[in-house]
Amino acid sequence: MAAAGYGGLRRHSLFPIPPPGTSCGQRGHAAQAWLLLNRATLSNDELTRKLIRYSPDSVLSWFPRRRLLAQDGQVELYIVGLK
């Protein structure tokens, strides 16, 4: 059952999703952010030639404190530590 307000994401005991309207910095969480990586977009020849200058691996290298939460095909959701 999907939790209301999460766009279909399910709560998971290992990776709790903060309630809507709160930030990850509240309720005792460390400073964190979400990273949604679409590998298909970052490897599209037409887009990378004209608009995008970064590969998926180079984008991930900017966030060494990341943890993969979910993956659906070429789309990956990470939680990223900011401190």
Question: Quick check: is 19 in a domain?
Answer: no
Question: Quick check: is 3 in a domain?
Answer: no
Question: Quick check: is 45 in a domain?
Answer: yes
Domain that holds residue 69: 32-81
CA distances for 9 relative to 20, 32, 47, angstroms: 12, 18, 28
Q: pLDDT per residue over 13-41, tens digit each?
A: 444 555 555 555 555 556 889 999 999 88
Here the tokens at position 77 are 């959701």
Question: Quick check: is 43 in a domain?
Answer: yes
Look at residue 3 in the predicted model and tell me its pLDDT.
Answer: 41
User: Most distant CA pair in the chain: distance in Å?
Assistant: 43
Total number of domains constituting the chain: 1
Sheet holding 75-81, edge to edge: 32-38, 75-81, 66-72
Look at residue 51 in the predicted model and tell me its pLDDT.
Answer: 77
DSSP 13-53: SSSPPPPTT--TTSTTPPSEEEEEEEHHHHT-HHHHHHT--
